[in-house]
């Protein structure tokens, strides 16, 4: 599918997506052939390892860019992943489909004003604490509420440690028990919301809303009037929460993931042709 959108809107989407990429840093990154090539080693945050092609003005021939990306991932023994959004070349999705890339995760990119979110009331029984530093306590709560038991949390911890932008780490407590977490990252007048998680037994009690409001207050204190977040389109509970908080959808986008078995065969053919 191709994206038809005014240039200014597409440019804004690309800029927000690059802010999000800086807030969720890849384990390895390079810029080649008009692409930001990003490799991630955390399965829990797999989207940190997707190719960004948001500057089509500097992009060479599309197939060359894709082949360059595929070589980047093949060197790391991983399938190539592309983010496909309105800021990308119009024919990117069609070309990836032709190459048998599968669609993975349709995402809603949403925006709101910090002032609108900060005005949301929260229950008196809720307490939200914000720290400017990543702590093991916050990480364990985020991991437990968002991902449950993971085989190896080390890659996700390394990802969080790579964040060097001004950040806020929020935790919400009910009767002294921490039940929800969230992270905000400031970047050129915008604040992105990440790792919004609530323990199952504490959901629908206002904890997530309280975290959003507290992080919006923090955004205002940092001189950042605009906020954004990304949420999977089929996560109805989260969509309802963000709509109530004042977020509106700017666009949808998705990822394309390479057929790994096919890519290995293609690479072998390339090697035979060039040797």
**SS3 readout for 35-80:** EEEEECCCHHHHHHHCEECCCHHHCCCHHHHHHHHHHHHHCCCCCC
Segment 73-99 shows an average pLDDT of 96
* Residue 66 counted as domain residue: yes
> Is residue 17, in this structure, part of any structural domain at all?
yes
Neighbouring C-alpha atoms within 13 Å toward the C-beta of 159 = 28
Query: Is the pLDDT at 272 greater than 70, yes or no?
Result: no
In a domain, 130, yes or no: yes
- Domain shared by 159 and 239, yes or no: yes
Range of the domain at 230: 111-252
The DSSP output letter for 101 is: P
| In a domain? residue 207 | yes
pLDDT in tens, 141-160: 999 887 656 678 999 999 99
What total of structural domains would you count in the chain? 2
Of 88, 95, 33, the residue nearest 65 (C-alpha): 33
Q: What is the pLDDT of residue 118?
A: 77
Query: In terms of domains, do 222 and 246 share one?
Result: yes
CATH of the domain at 175: 3.40.630.30
Asked if residue 14 is part of any domain, the answer here is: yes
Mean pLDDT of 182-193: 98
> Is 193 in a helix, a strand, or coil?
strand
Question: Could you tell me if residue 13 is inside a domain?
Answer: yes
Kindly compute the dihedral angle of the four CA atoms of residues 60, 63, 68, 71, in this order, to the nearest 10 degrees.
Answer: 180
Task: Please indicate, yes or no, whether residues 119 and 95 belong to a single structural domain of this protein.
Answer: no
Residues of the chain above pLDDT 90, percent? 76
Computed over every residue of the chain, the mean pLDDT equals 89
Q: Is 253 left (phi over 0), alpha (psi -120 to 50) or beta?
A: beta
pTM of the model: 0.89
Q: Are residues 21 and 115 in the same domain?
A: no
Q: Which of 190, 180, 173 is nearest to 230 (CA)?
A: 190
- Residue pLDDT, tens place only, 222-238: 999 999 999 999 999 99
């Amino acid at each position: 599918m191709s994206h038809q959108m005014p240039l200014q809107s597409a440019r804004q989407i690309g800029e927000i997506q690059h802010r999000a990429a800086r807030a969720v840093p890849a384990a390895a990154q390079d810029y080649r052939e008009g692409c930001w090539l990003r490799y991630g080693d955390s399965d829990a945050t797999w989207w940190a390892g997707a190719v960004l092609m948001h500057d089509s003005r500097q992009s060479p021939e599309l197939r060359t860019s894709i082949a360059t990306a595929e070589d980047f991932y093949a060197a790391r023994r991983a399938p190539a992943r592309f983010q496909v959004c309105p800021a990308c070349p119009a024919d990117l999705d069609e070309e990836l489909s032709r190459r048998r890339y599968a669609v993975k995760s349709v995402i809603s990119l949403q925006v709101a004003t910090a002032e609108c979110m900060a005005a949301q009331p929260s229950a008196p029984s809720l307490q939200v604490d914000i720290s400017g530093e990543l702590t093991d306590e916050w990480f364990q709560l985020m991991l437990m509420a968002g991902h449950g038991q993971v085989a190896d949390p080390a890659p996700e911890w390394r990802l969080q440690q790579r964040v060097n932008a001004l950040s806020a780490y929020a935790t919400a407590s009910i009767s002294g028990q921490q039940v929800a977490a969230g992270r905000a990252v400031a970047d050129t007048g915008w604040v992105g919301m990440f790792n919004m998680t609530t323990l199952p037994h504490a959901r629908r009690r206002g904890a997530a809303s309280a975290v959003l409001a507290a992080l919006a207050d923090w955004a205002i204190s940092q001189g950042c009037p605009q906020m954004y977040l990304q949420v999977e389109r089929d996560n109805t509970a989260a969509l309802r929460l963000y709509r109530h908080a004042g977020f509106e959808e700017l666009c949808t986008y998705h990822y394309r993931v390479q057929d790994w078995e096919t890519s290995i065969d293609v690479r072998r053919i390339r090697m035979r042709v060039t040797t």
